[in-house]
Amino acid sequence: MNLAIGLVVLAAAMLHAVWNALVKGAEDKVVILGLIAFGHVILGLLVIISVPLPQVETIPYIMASTVIHWGYYYLLNTAYKLGDFSLMYPISRGLAPVLIALGSQFWIGERLPVLAWAGILTVSGGIMVLTGGLFSGSLSKSATVTAIGVAFSVTAYSLVDGVGIRISGNPLGYIGWLFVAEIFVVIFILASHWKCLFAVSGKTFVLGLAGGVISALAYAMVLYAKTTAPLGIISALRETSVIFATMIGVIWFKEGAAKRRLVAAVLVAGGIGIMAMAMAMAI
């Protein structure tokens, strides 16, 4: 993995944190998730009208990813009903890099050097520092299980899309059709909350769509990176979005626990450094 790819993924992580900050105070989280998915569809349509189709072999991957994303949105909404954002988000995103690295090793034979594993574990550990409630017992069992379920859904769609885009023959085509396929997620969410959609403010509607476009752009950048670098490494870099989000919380929203967040940021930065050394030694 070269420096340019690493910077692309870190930029995607920042975008991920930004759209989460945009929708953090949404008045209806179910509707906002539907609007975010619709933002994905909008960007996907803009892509598919200008690029060739991906290989037909990618159709099962796009279908599987769409179903998994539906489950992801469902679990994410449930998680935020059961626990605080500042706890649920780090738990789900902190576990994902390790699970993805394990999954890519056993599914596609992508073996990482020991130093790279040390970097991934350090990044995940840094993120998990933010989840004091997980270990203090202040988080309910149902909330914990749901957050872990989110982590597994993130792992599942990351692995499916990581393989799908590599065999697509046209990464942009895969990305475009993957996002367009989310129209089924949009229909499922918004059809059951139709009245709520019209009840939200114009500001929330615009923020939801804008957040969806930003989210889609961030994921597209990550998918592109997966064509050139190990899935576990890319995932660990992507989840630095948690640190960006917590820094936004401290600086912008004036949230507390700044000391814990600083420790987490230092650990994640150290993990990134370790992974960079591992990749440099592998070249």
Highest mean pLDDT among 56-65, 113-122, 212-221, 246-255: 56-65
Top-confidence range, 27-36, 49-58, 122-131: 49-58
Show the domain range for 150.
3-282
pLDDT of the residue at 256:
59
Question: Is the CB of residue 223 less than 8 Å from the CB of residue 161?
Answer: yes
* Confidence at 254, pLDDT banded by 50, 70, 90: low
Region 180-191 average pLDDT: 85
Q: Provide the 10 A C-beta neighbour count for residue 142.
A: 12
Number of domains in the chain: 1
Of 252 and 81, more confident: 81
Can you give the pLDDT at residue 214? 85
Query: What pLDDT score was predicted for residue 68?
Result: 94
Q: What is the DSSP letter of 157?
A: H
Identify the band that residue 171 occupies on the pLDDT scale cut at 50, 70 and 90.
Answer: very high
Give dist(CA 92, CA 172) in Å, integer: 28
pLDDT, greater one: 160 or 141: 160
Q: Which residue has the higher pLDDT, 5 or 162?
A: 162
CA-CA distance, 151 to 75, in Å (whole number)?
10
Render pLDDT for 66-110 as a digit per residue (tens, 0 to 9): 999 888 888 887 877 776 666 677 777 778 888 888 888 888 888
Considering only residues 59 and 259, tell me which one the structure prediction assigns the higher pLDDT: 59
The mean of the pLDDT values for the chain is 80
Residues 242-271 as b/e (b if ≥16 CB within 10 A, e otherwise) read bbbbbbbbeeeeeeeeeeebeebbebbebb
In this predicted structure, what is the pLDDT of residue 120?
85
- Whether 282 has a pLDDT exceeding 70, the answer reads no
As a whole number of angstroms, the distance between CA 13 and CA 259 comes to 22
**Angle between helix 59-82 and helix 85-108 axes, rounded to 10 deg:** 150
Q: Give the CA angle between residues 162, 90, 14 to the nearest 5°.
A: 65
What pLDDT score was predicted for residue 155? Answer: 92
pTM over 0.85: no
